[in-house]
């Protein structure tokens, strides 16, 4: 602390002003970290929104990214958003894959990154000044590491959210596909079949149910069926759903039987799942080599050879 005050004093040339500037820096660091935490909780881990999502229909629940800080984020978004349109589109697509379709989601993400990049290094720098024995270079390196965490941390969390959501969508896709086959073979059209499947999956697979309900809403709003299905593939980012959308698009374009196309794709998808399971089972033996060598074999050798070694040592004594 004295070092930082002395550094500020050498810059400002006034001891009292340097002390006041030090207090202001502490306040700014604490405020940035606290505000980033509030943004993070209200955007990604809102407990009320997660509970409402379980009991309210997906289309009636609050969109992710909306919160009481929306006006503040909107006011600072011109200063935190990147200028490159390509980067904005790529980040926006990743947010959509994670399930954040709010217009403020992109601004929230970059606001969190900006606050963490500014607040974490200041908090680490000011906090480590109280630790005795640390050199100035070590403190600067720790602050630089905190800045790196603030810059890359939100992207890492977003990537994990995308993986979790894609895994949930993939787990619900076989059930949705089988239900679509049953509905179309029972005489349903594509639109009522999608709506029926969305209603059936509300409890078991709410994420996929929400996406299918959104497809049906777009169709009711006048969007072409092929375009609505392509939007579904873009929002989910799953290869399997993209293949289903391509198949349905060709079926609608050429007038072939939707039920027959879905049944063929369902059989192919079932074969692919079986092949993937066989591949995973085939790699188990290779993955078991390291646990066997490092954990089980040493204990086995101690039990099997240990008594003989002890007997030999006693014999030579």
Answer with the one of 164, 179, 208 that is the final residue of a domain. Answer: 164
Is 143 contained in some domain? yes
Same domain, 157 and 13: yes
Same domain, 10 and 129: yes
Same domain, 178 and 150: no
Range of the domain at 226: 168-282
Tell me what pLDDT residue 45 has: 53
| DSSP secondary structure of 213-251 | HHHHHHHHTT--HHHHHHHHHHHH--HHHHHHHHHHHHH
Contact of 197 with 266, CB cutoff 8 Å: no
Count other Cβ atoms within 10 Å, centred on residue 114. Answer: 19
- Residue 13, class by beta-carbon neighbours within 10 Å (0-12 exposed, 13-18 middle, 19+ buried)? exposed
Answer with the one of 164, 183, 206 that is the final residue of a domain. Answer: 164
Same domain, 225 and 181: yes
pLDDT digits (tens, 9 = 90+) for 137-168: 888 888 888 888 888 888 999 999 999 999 99
Is 305 contained in some domain? no
Same domain, 11 and 147: yes
Q: 238-265 in b/e burial notation, b at 16+ Cβ within 10 A?
A: bebbbebbebbbebbeeeeebbebbbeb
Contact of 25 with 173, CB cutoff 8 Å: no
Tell me what pLDDT residue 56 has: 47
Same domain, 179 and 149: no
Is 312 contained in some domain? no
Is 313 contained in some domain? no
Is 315 contained in some domain? no
Q: Which two tokens stand for residue 60?
A: 């009636």
CA distances from 91 to 115, 148, 235 (A): 18, 19, 13
Tell me what pLDDT residue 251 has: 83
- Whether this prediction's pTM lies above 0.75 is answered by no
Is 303 contained in some domain? no
Please give the tally of structural domains in the chain: 2
Give the distance, in angstroms, between the CA of residue 128 and the centroid of all CA atoms in the same chain: 31
Is 311 contained in some domain? no
- Residue 21, class by beta-carbon neighbours within 10 Å (0-12 exposed, 13-18 middle, 19+ buried)? middle
First CA to last CA across the chain, in angstroms? 65
- Contacts made by residues 147-156, CB under 8 angstroms, sequence distance 24+: 147/117, 147/120, 147/121, 149/116, 149/120, 150/113, 150/116, 150/117, 150/118, 150/119, 150/120, 150/121, 151/113, 151/116, 151/117, 153/116, 154/109, 154/112, 154/113, 154/116
Same domain, 135 and 43: yes
Answer with the one of 110, 143, 164 that is the final residue of a domain. Answer: 164
Contact of 128 with 139, CB cutoff 8 Å: yes
Give the distance, in angstroms, between the CA of residue 293 and the centroid of all CA atoms in the same chain: 35
Phi, psi for residue 26 in degrees, rounded to 5:
-60, -45
Tell me what pLDDT residue 65 has: 45
Tell me what pLDDT residue 248 has: 83
Tell me what pLDDT residue 258 has: 82
Same domain, 201 and 65: no
Tell me what pLDDT residue 161 has: 92
Count other Cβ atoms within 10 Å, centred on residue 89. Answer: 11
Count other Cβ atoms within 10 Å, centred on residue 104. Answer: 21
Contact of 243 with 265, CB cutoff 8 Å: yes
Distance CA 98, CA 161 (A): 6
Count other Cβ atoms within 10 Å, centred on residue 42. Answer: 18
Query: At 10, is the secondary structure helix, strand, or coil?
Result: helix
Is 292 contained in some domain? no
Q: Which two tokens stand for residue 75?
A: 């006011």
Same domain, 247 and 106: no
Tell me what pLDDT residue 160 has: 93
Query: What residues in the chain have per-residue pLDDT under 50?
Result: 55-65
Same domain, 190 and 260: yes
Same domain, 93 and 177: no
Same domain, 6 and 151: yes
């Amino acid at each position: 602390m004295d070092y930082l005050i002395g550094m500020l004093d050498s810059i400002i040339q006034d001891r009292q002003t340097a002390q006041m500037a030090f207090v202001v820096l502490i306040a700014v660091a604490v405020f940035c970290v606290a505000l980033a935490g509030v943004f993070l909780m209200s955007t990604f881990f809102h407990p009320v929104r997660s509970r409402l999502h379980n009991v309210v229909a997906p289309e009636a629940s609050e969109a992710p990214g909306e919160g009481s800080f929306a006006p503040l984020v909107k006011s600072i978004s011109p200063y935190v958003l990147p200028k490159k349109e390509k980067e904005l589109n790529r980040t926006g697509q990743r947010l959509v894959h994670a399930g954040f379709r709010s217009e403020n989601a992109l601004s929230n993400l970059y606001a969190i990154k900006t606050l963490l990049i500014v607040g974490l290094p200041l908090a680490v720098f000011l906090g480590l000044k109280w630790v005795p024995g640390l050199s100035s270079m070590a403190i600067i390196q720790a602050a630089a590491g905190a800045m790196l965490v603030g810059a890359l941390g939100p992207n890492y969390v977003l990537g994990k959210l995308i993986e979790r959501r894609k895994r949930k969508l993939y787990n619900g896709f076989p059930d949705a596909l089988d239900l679509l086959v049953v509905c179309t073979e029972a005489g349903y059209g594509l639109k009522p079949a999608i709506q029926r499947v969305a209603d059936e999956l509300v409890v078991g697979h709410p994420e996929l149910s929400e996406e299918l309900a959104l497809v049906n809403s777009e169709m009711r709003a006048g969007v072409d069926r092929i375009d609505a299905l392509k939007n579904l593939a873009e929002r989910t980012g799953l290869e399997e759903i993209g293949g289903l959308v391509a198949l349905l698009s060709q079926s609608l374009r050429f007038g072939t039987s939707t039920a027959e196309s879905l049944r063929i794709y369902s059989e192919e998808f079932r074969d692919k799942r079986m092949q993937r399971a066989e591949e995973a089972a085939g790699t188990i033996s290779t993955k078991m080599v390291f646990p066997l060598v490092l954990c089980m074999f040493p204990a086995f050798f101690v039990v099997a050879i240990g008594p003989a070694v002890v007997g030999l040592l006693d014999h030579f004594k």
